[in-house]
Amino acid sequence: MIKIIVVGDALVSSENMEKAAYMLHLNDEIEVEKFEWFSELSKDEFQKKILLIERSGSEKVPIPDGILELLPDADYLLVHLAPVSQTMIRAGTNLKMIGVSRGGLENINIQEAAKHNIPVIHVIRNAVPVAEFTLGLILAETRNIAKSHYSIKTGGWEKEFSNAFYKTTLSNLTVGLVGLGNIGKLLVEYLQALKIEVQAYDPFVSEEELMRENITVKKVSLQEIFENSDIVSLHTRLTEETTGMINKDLLFLMKKNAYLINTARAKLVNKVDLLEVLQNKKIAGAALDVFWTEPIPVNDPFLKLDNVTLTAHIAGDTVDAIARSPYLLKNVMNDYFAAGFSKMIIH
């Protein structure tokens, strides 16, 4: 008998987690125990829990009630945003794997899992929505779609914007991607379908991996991305090493007609440095779906800029992406069981 614990929350139901668990290819009878983590909250109320766990990690939030008593007998633990803390991992003496139905791992004590040789598999639940949204932001900022809309809604009929001297079709531009994970790879496909030249930086993705996935993209250094791209789009994870990596040293390399797009994490970018290059028109503009403080404060200086497009962290927000994420996780775990390895594993 294989014992699986699933933890639902306000965004992903324990019922969907349970159904996905029963679809795992484990070659034995499966028994599932369900737990809840603030499942009773509204989406707006639950957003506060999300912000808390993203800022503070797995050790600063309450764990699911009653879970510690059953963890010693569990073989697999599947969660969405619920924390998997040091205490939980130490209690799970038989755990063979932790599955997370989201891309971010702020809610998992990765270091503790590694100490106990427990693989952690996660899934980019919203890769397609984010890749599509990123393409939309590129168009919105370079062609002033949002700015024109705002002008009309506020009584104007503006036709000239801060990037007036740089407007052109996307096929004339080169896009540089920082990060070639699931989202970055999808965006390569979308951009190349539009005949747009793409180059990318990702030290963790090999040429062999790209060849296996039939992805043809020019790999260059991070410095070359910022020096040579007309549009730089960020798609890398936030870690201690990547926090603030996009700073003045890189931003000042950008062309005067270039744009920065960020649908990843705000803290990848040094806020003061980006504000400086935008205020001084060192680059043509930026489009941001993520911010250093969310919601963005009413006095935030970015709200006064005329060369940015701002959206409220909605790139991955579609009706199906989050709710059905356990089934994506199930697919990735089954791939692991079949092949014995997975690029999704964090050691």
**Residue (of 343, 286, 66) closest to 163 by Cα position:** 286
Cite the beta strand spans of 150-222 per DSSP E.
174-178, 197-201, 218-219
The tokens describing 256, both together, are 């005067």
The tokens describing 44, both together, are 């707006």
| 265 counts as catalytic | yes
| 36 counts as catalytic | no
| 313 counts as catalytic | yes
Choice among 227, 276, 294, 324 that is catalytic: 294
Choice among 80, 265, 276, 324 that is catalytic: 265
How many angstroms separate the CA atoms of 17 and 21, rounded? 6
The tokens describing 122, both together, are 């996660």
24 DSSP 8-state letter: S
Choice among 90, 143, 237, 313 that is catalytic: 313
- The DSSP string of 202-265 is -TTS-HHHHHHTT---EE--HHHHHHH-SEEEE-----TTTTT-B-HHHHTTS-TT-EEEE-S-
285-288 vs 259-262, strand pairing mode: parallel
Q: Which residues form the catalytic set? A: 265, 294, 313
